[in-house]
Amino acid sequence: MSTVMNVPKNGGLTRTTNNSSSYLPTWSSWIDDIFNRELSSTFSQNFNTGMSLPKVNIKETADAYFVEMAVPGLKKSDFNINLENQVLSIATEVEENNEETKENYTRKEFGYSSFKRSFTLPETVEDGKIKATYNEGVLRIHLPKKEEAKQKPPRNIQIS
């Protein structure tokens, strides 16, 4: 007799026994299949599971690096941007509490979401001149290069 793990469409695991004399699933797997079949996806779609990790664009030019992160719905004060040991960290924590009181009921909703992204910066970044802006849901960080790291334009060298 061997144990087999079946993976149903909803991603949950159920245990059945692979025995030639038994063609029926175990009682617990039958119950799991009933409750996990449609309810799991229905409930998970209706509940906010927190903020997803925002996507980041990083661009390099001759003079600087640019980091852009799409994070709509936040305020400048929601961000915590740190630089420590050449590691740039961008983090946010947002807590929401809503309460609505009427004559015969009170409705309370709360939520919490957060994320943190970290990037190791090259030593060519002039860390004292880093600037960040947040406008229309996009966080932009300007990371200027040190003077010696900037690309110089090509020049023609004469032979003497």
> What sign results for the dihedral spanned by CA atoms 16, 17, 23, 25?
negative
Same domain, 129 and 73: yes
What is the pLDDT, as a whole number, of residue 14?
45
Measure the CA–CA gap between 60 and 147, rounded to whole angstroms.
Answer: 15
Task: Tell me which residues of the chain have a pLDDT lower than 70.
Answer: 1-51
pLDDT of residue 33: 60
Q: Tens of pLDDT along 12-41? A: 444 444 554 455 556 666 566 655 555 444
Measured CA to CA, the distance from residue 158 to residue 10 in angstroms comes to 71
135/69 same-domain check: yes
Residues 36 and 62 in one domain: no
Which pLDDT belongs to residue 135?
93
Position 17 in a domain: yes
Same domain for 64 and 110, yes or no, is yes
One domain for residues 74 and 42:
no
- Give the pLDDT score at 110: 79
Residues 103 and 129 in one domain: yes
Residue 159 lies in a domain: no
**Residue 46 confidence (pLDDT):** 41
| Residue in the structure block whose two tokens are 């004060």 | 77
The residue range of the domain holding 35 is 2-46
